[in-house]
Amino acid sequence: MTQETATAATETTVAAPQYQSADSPIHAKVQTALDGIRPYLQSDGGDAIFLGITADNIVDLKLVGACGSCPMSTMTLRAGVEQAIKRAVPEVVRVEANA
């Protein structure tokens, strides 16, 4: 294996996700649902940044502040944030937290 081949084999390129337009009705509904639960996240020193919605209706968020490093963040995401968003926007399939 040449040096170039070894380097190429170890490099990985991760494509940025393609999100739906911010003008779509579902985008506004998700933002409204997230704004409704944001005070609860902020009361514990955390927050969530809405990154976008994929073509498969998966909502991507970034947990920040205390939420970004909290060991309970997965439970907060699934039982709190995801449920609130899916209740308000049934089209959403899943909510994911990205780094």
Sequence-distant (≥ 6) Cβ neighbours of residue 60 within 8 angstroms: 17, 19, 51, 52, 53, 54, 96, 98
Each residue's pLDDT tens digit, 80-93: 999 999 999 999 99
What domains sit in the chain, N to C, each tagged with a CATH number? Answer: 17-97 (3.30.300.130)
DSSP calls for 2-52 = -HHHHHHHH----PPPPBPPTTSHHHHHHHHHHHHHHHHHHHTTEEEEEEE
Q: Residue 93 carries which DSSP code?
A: -
Task: Name the pTM for this structure.
Answer: 0.79
Question: Is residue 12 very low, low, confident or very high in pLDDT (cuts 50, 70, 90)?
Answer: low
The three-class DSSP label of residue 58 is: strand
Each residue's pLDDT tens digit, 31-64: 999 999 999 999 989 999 999 999 999 999 999 9
User: What does the pLDDT read at residue 76?
Assistant: 87
Q: Tokens in use for 3?
A: 């040096």
Average the pLDDT over 20-34 and give the result.
94
